[in-house]
Amino acid sequence: MATTVTPDQVEKVVTDALPQFGVDESQITRDATFEELDVDSLDLAELSQIIEDEFGVQLKGEDVAQIKTVGDAVDLVVSRAA
């Protein structure tokens, strides 16, 4: 499927999702860490589901544990979708 998934597409989905968890939109950058954004493990589990619904990429708990920044999440999804 997903050779067409671009970093921009993933970034948009992530950026749109994060405010649902109370994140201030102005603070979302590729380098922002989820810790700084106050995004916790349940938020990341929910974000994983949104990504799975959107791109068909399944992220497991151990994958999510490696992700530190917004950019990490985007890159991981893009690499898995390729």
Partner 1 sequence: MSRPESATALVTGASKGIGAAIAKALAEDGWNVGIGYRTDEAGARATLEAVEAAGGRGTLLAGDVSNGTGDDLVARAEAELGPVLALVNNAGVRADGLALQIDDEMWERVIDTNLTAAFRLTRRAMRGMVRSRYGRVINVASVVGPRANAGQANYAAAKAGLIGMTKTIAAEVARRGVTVNAVAPGFIETDMTADLPKEVVQAVPARRPGTPDEVAAAVRFLASDAAGYVTGTTLFVDGGMSA
Least distance to partner 1, CB of residue 3, Å: 27
Residues 28-47 touching partner 1, rule: CB under 8 A, are 42, 45-46
Catalytic choice (24, 40, 72, 75): 40
Residues in Cβ contact with 46 at an 8 Å cutoff, skipping those fewer than 6 apart = 17, 20, 21
Residues 43-72 touching partner 1, rule: CB under 8 A, are 45-46, 49
Least distance to partner 1, CB of residue 43, Å: 10
